[in-house]
Amino acid sequence: TQTIRSTTCWLPAACFIRPQSTMEVKIALKIITTLQSTFAVRTVGHNPNPGFSSVDESGVVIDLRELKNVEIAPGRDVVSIGPGAMWGEVYDVLEEEELTVVGGRVSEVGVGGLLLGGGMSHFSNRWGMACDNVKIFEVVLANSEVVYANEHENQDLFRALKGGGPNFGIVTRFDLYTYPDYKVWYTFKMYSADDTERVMKAVVEVQKAMETDDRIGLFLTCAGNFFVAGMLHLGWTDSPVPAFKALDEITPMMVTVPEMNGTAASVATAVSMNEAAKRESGTLTVLPDVDLYVEVQGILHGIKSSATTSESYSLVFTYQPVAKASVKEGNSLNVSPVNQAWLAIAITWIEDSEDDLARKQIRELISGIEVATKGRGLLLNFKFMNDASYIQSPLRSYGIESLELLHAARQKWDPESVFQRLQNGGFLLSRA
């Protein structure tokens, strides 16, 4: 069976291969390349873009879901994880040992896709992006050779895989650094759109606080008539977190998750959102600014109110603050080392009659926010691959120097362009 999260990317492949080991991935890829068959690689299938992690009746899906082992090394400083594991499964294993890793924020998200796209954690402010915390990649190349990439061996491939997407091979194992900070305090509060300006001022205040306190995390989801703010602190506390003072001073409509001393696993479950539906996504990167945030909320409201939709239709976007400390060297992302916010735009619907509307509105929202942000001189070029739309080019947004390094790595490790010619979907260098 296929993983059905976004039915916009669910295609009826001719064949599904579910390897149980790296050796079986090697064999599968050898057969596919010999036959010159089109193929797709799927870990869990969370990305909603049409055709990603899937292929039609002409091709084969290599489904890595069975490669989901989570094994902690004897020294407890590294954990080996299969690409088909979900982050919730990873956190559950690590929590038993009072450990955590820098990984996904939602329990059902797959390990492989998130890490190859860069990967944002609630606490990237402290440890960097998830990809920055990979010690070793085990990779099956296009010629079916297995190689290992780390900071000492195959360094160009090591860098390329950190945010470079599915362009270089099939990663069959990720070795990640572990941390003992698995305890997390968090609360989720819902605020009225009537308090838009106060909420946006508070968000900017929290973003400022993140520059000096690397133990806090925040997201703000905007749904037109209300906001949901997720406030997190690394480590348990029974006292108010000073960084959230401005948000605490606003009376919420509802406390959806009360203040809680939990864990990385419980947070990932709290933000779980795996219902099957059609989905469109998009992303932009902006500098923090109260007036811009208020204007963006107006753009969202205008687009939402421009059409009558079914109850199942949802258009939201989420502010994801990224502090300067989150930006690390040694990856492909080339993120500007400044305080910023990555906007994640999402449309979810079920009815076939709303397909065209969703595609129209995702473009309108991306374009509208882009114009507003450019007009204020607050737009950054970077586009986060894990949230990007198929109409965007995250690889190109990394800049010319990073893109040239990625092309050089592709030429070295896949000289016959197997992953560009035969692979269906994904953010491919041949399309950047």
Query: Which CATH number goes with the domain that contains 89?
Result: 3.30.465.10
Q: Residue 333 falls within a domain, yes or no?
A: no
Residues 33 and 121 in one domain: no
Same domain, 145 and 78: yes
Residue 5 has pLDDT above 60, yes or no: no
Range 82-90 average pLDDT: 97
Task: Tell me: do 18 and 48 sit in the same domain.
Answer: yes
Give the mean model confidence (pLDDT) for residues 238-257: 96
Residue 362 lies in a domain: no
Instruction: Indicate whether 88 and 30 sit together in one domain.
Output: no
Number of other residues whose CB lies within 10 A of the CB of residue 35: 11
pTM (predicted TM-score)? 0.95
Same domain, 38 and 98: no
Q: Is the dihedral of CA 383, 387, 389, 393 positive or negative?
A: positive
Residues 108 and 138 in one domain: yes
- Asked if residue 19 is part of any domain, the answer here is yes
> Considering the domain boundaries, does residue 11 fall inside one?
yes
Work out the pLDDT band at 21, boundaries 50, 70, 90: very high
Q: How many domains does the chain have?
A: 2
Q: Which of 352, 351, 273 is nearest to 318 (CA)?
A: 273
How many percent of the chain have pLDDT more than 70?
Answer: 96
- The Cα–Cα gap between 345 and 362 comes to 8
Does 35 share its domain with 118? no
74: exposed, middle or buried (Cβ count in 10 Å: 0-12, 13-18, 19+) = exposed
Q: Does the structure show a pLDDT above 50 at 3?
A: no
130 and 89 in a single domain? The answer is yes
Q: Do the beta carbons of residue 104 and residue 87 sit within 8 Å?
A: yes
Pairing of strands 146-149, 216-222: unpaired
- The one-character DSSP state at 377 is T
**Do 81 and 48 have their domain in common?**
no
Give the pLDDT band (50/70/90) at residue 7.
Answer: low
Long-range pairs, 256-259, Cβ under 8 A, ≥24: 256/188, 256/189, 256/190, 256/228, 257/186, 257/187, 257/188, 258/187, 259/185, 259/186, 259/187
- Assess whether 58 and 74 both reside in one domain: no
Q: Are 170 and 139 in contact (CB under 8 A)?
A: yes
Question: Do residues 117 and 18 both lie within one domain?
Answer: no
**315 occurs within a structural domain:** no
pLDDT of residue 4: 47
Q: Print the domain residue range for 35.
A: 7-63
Closest CA to 118 of 164, 86, 168, 59: 164
Q: Which of 148, 180, 212 represents a domain boundary (last residue)?
A: 180
Q: Residue count of the chain, please give it.
A: 432
pLDDT at position 6: 53
Residue 419 lies in a domain: no
Looking at the domain assignment, is residue 153 inside a domain? yes
Q: What token pair was written down for 153?
A: 């061996």
Most confident of 44-58, 264-278, 310-324: 310-324
Q: How confident is the model at residue 1 (pLDDT cuts 50, 70, 90)?
A: very low
101 falls within a domain: yes
Number of Cβ within a 10 Å radius of residue 375: 11
Q: pLDDT higher for 55 or 179?
A: 179
The pLDDT of 221-232, averaged and rounded, is: 94
Among 17, 20, 67, residue whose Cα is nearest residue 44: 67
120 in the same domain as 88? yes
Domain boundary among 119, 151, 180: 180
pLDDT at 138: 99
Domain boundary among 46, 63, 80: 63
